Amino acid sequence: MEFSELIRTGRAQAELLRGPGAPPLRGTLCVTGHHLLLSPGPQATSDLWLLLLRSVDSIEKRVAGDSGTITLRCKDLRVLQLDIEGVEATLDIARSIEALSSLESVITSFPFFYRPKGLRLGDAWHFHPPEHHYKRVARETNAWRLSEVNEDFSVCPSYPRAVIVPRAVDDDALARSARFRQGGRFPVLSYHHAPSGTVLLRSSQPLTGPQKRRCAEDEELLRAVLAGARPGARGFIVDTRSAQAAKQARMTGGGTEAKAAYPGWKRLHRPMERGRPLQESFVRLVEACGDLEQSMDRWLSRLEGCRWLAHVKEALSTACLAAQGMEREGACILVHGAEGTDSTLLVTSLAQLILDPLSRTMTGFQELVEREWIQAGHPFQLRCAHSAFSHARPKHEAPTFLLFLDCVWQLGRQFPLSLEFGEGLLLALFEHAYASPFGTFLCNSEKERCLCEVRTRTHSLWSGLNQPKEQRKLRNPLYVLNPLAIWPSVEPQSLRLWQGLFLRWTRPPEPSEAAWEKVWQIVTDKEKTEGSQPTVSASEPQP
């Protein structure tokens, strides 16, 4: 295999330090095509230690005397230290890790080789197809249809094969509307809110350009959306850029919907941070979280300076705005920014969590992530190429998906009984989005995934997560179905730093883990005692 060229030294003696709480590990270090292994001596009690090379974000080497030290900073924010015997071995191993962890080819990545026991290839890949979502919509309303205009990805390369569109609009009109939208992302249905009969749509910006071009089919499409909802329905276009930025986008061919061209629709601008500033915010927060010695003042000023929680607040309040428009105003909402693959998805997915009790269940949430992020064409490969430790200049990296997970965590904190999943699932999604043995988060779009045959040649994360043994980690033991919308508070006093993620490796987890264990115990006790009650009454003989 071609990896062997990159591996300079097969093995070396090393000691691994895993931070506070975990004891150091000694043994033979070994670099393989996809992993770093540490196998303790035969008499050692601990198991083989394994690290996916893909999850290494940055590597730092130091040599002194006849040994060396490698510091690995991982994409899941872990920091590991390897003390290796021999200078040459250290340098060789460092070089091997560097080369192997930054391989760009998708089809040689680990998911294509990963064959875990107990899982069948191809399982769970068909868990959440667009057809499935359409079935639900069709039960609730007749105004929408499933279009296969994008069957061969020629209309929009970042959309899935099938999308849900107004019944009144034919495929030709869709294709023409697509040409008027950046990247071909014409308005499609994201969520139908049955209680108010309104819909949530997403798209990219219209290509009005400096000449303020128009597109009759695009206008017709949005008109059909209002007509399909109910007579006299209004619509709001939530633009995730500032009015100024939207206007400036015209100079580069983009722009916004002109008011006159879209009767019944009104534009609202909610500027949200994206791209590099968001990535920098993430980097600065992680930096601040790594400093255990800083004074209280310094910590608070860094927490403020990184602006991460301000982004959380922006995202949540924009989502609330969209959700409120649907629930309260009975209006249809179209969300877009520029490309429609980042902040747009953040808003549409959060709005659904707020409004839709089904999306707050275990399967519903997985479906939401699959539908609104993976199939909707969030470019995971570009956005999650590096995490917060990389020294490389960020090109396309941005922690938009992490910001989404953080917002979900905030919702879960404010409504601790209303989400069926717990922090464990959110942490797992964060890890897997950045580096995973599963194929779910590979590539940037459905089209690329098809080309790479991801579905047939890798395992789905969902089948991995939904194994019974994983459930206790991922579920919220206190969940009770809540049929209402959950409106979070977005005041700064109500938002918290997500310690479970950002401080996961720097604080001792024992007390809170023990507490959750106790909660689980109480819940299972409850199930047991309730279960045993009928047994007692069953033992009563009938008089």
Residues in region 412-471 near another protein by CB under 8 A: 413-418
Choices 48-56, 364-372, 434-442, 482-490; region in contact with another protein by CB under 8 A? 482-490
Min separation Cβ 106 and another protein, Å: 37
Comparing CA positions, the residue from 290, 501, 505, 276 lying closest to residue 392 is 276
Choices 33-41, 71-79, 358-366, 473-481; region in contact with another protein by CB under 8 A? 473-481
Pull the structure tokens for residue 62: 């130091």
SS (H, E, C) 80-99: EEEEEECHHHHHHHHHHHHH
Q: Quick one: residue 330, left, alpha or beta (phi over 0 = left, psi -120 to 50 = alpha)?
A: left
Q: DSSP string of 106-135? A: STTSGGGT---TT--TTTTTTSS-HHHHHH
Binding to another protein (CB under 8 A) within 279-298 occurs at 289, 292, 294-298
Min separation Cβ 188 and another protein, Å: 23
Q: Quick one: residue 102, left, alpha or beta (phi over 0 = left, psi -120 to 50 = alpha)?
A: alpha
Q: Does 268 bind another protein (CB under 8 A)?
A: yes
Nearer to another protein, 392 or 417 (CB): 417
Which of 266, 391, 451, 467 binds another protein (CB under 8 A)? It is 266
In this structure, which amino acid lies at residue 25? L
Count of residues that interact with another protein, criterion CB under 8 A: 88
Centre a 10 Å sphere on the Cβ of residue 506 and count the other Cβ atoms it contains.
17
Q: Does 503 bind another protein (CB under 8 A)?
A: yes
Which of 154, 456, 467, 532 binds another protein (CB under 8 A)? It is 532
Which of 261, 486, 500, 509 binds another protein (CB under 8 A)? It is 486
Q: Quick one: residue 19, left, alpha or beta (phi over 0 = left, psi -120 to 50 = alpha)?
A: left
- In the shown chain, the binding pattern of residues 1 to 20 toward another protein, with x for contact by CB under 8 A and - for none, equals --------------------
Min separation Cβ 434 and another protein, Å: 23
Alpha helices by DSSP H, 438-496: 446-451, 454-457, 461-465, 471-474
Which of 44, 50, 216, 519 binds another protein (CB under 8 A)? It is 519
Which of 136, 140, 299, 392 binds another protein (CB under 8 A)? It is 299
Question: HSE (CB half, 13 Å, CA atoms) of 336?
Answer: 27
At 218, is the secondary structure helix, strand, or coil?
helix
Centre a 10 Å sphere on the Cβ of residue 500 and count the other Cβ atoms it contains.
16
Min separation Cβ 355 and another protein, Å: 11
- In the shown chain, the binding pattern of residues 218 to 257 toward another protein, with x for contact by CB under 8 A and - for none, equals ------------------x------xx--xx--x------
Nearer to another protein, 309 or 376 (CB): 309
Q: Does 499 bind another protein (CB under 8 A)?
A: yes
Binding to another protein (CB under 8 A) within 318-347 occurs at 320-321, 323-325, 327-329, 331
Q: Does 533 bind another protein (CB under 8 A)?
A: yes
Comparing CA positions, the residue from 461, 476, 371 lying closest to residue 415 is 476
Binding to another protein (CB under 8 A) within 360-389 occurs at none
Q: Does 529 bind another protein (CB under 8 A)?
A: yes
- In the shown chain, the binding pattern of residues 125 to 164 toward another protein, with x for contact by CB under 8 A and - for none, equals ----------------------------------------
What CA–CA distances, in Å, run from 116 to 43, 119, 144? 27, 6, 40
Nearer to another protein, 75 or 307 (CB): 307
Min separation Cβ 203 and another protein, Å: 20
In the structure, how many helices (H) and strands (E) does the chain have?
19, 14
Nearer to another protein, 64 or 292 (CB): 292
Question: HSE (CB half, 13 Å, CA atoms) of 283?
Answer: 19
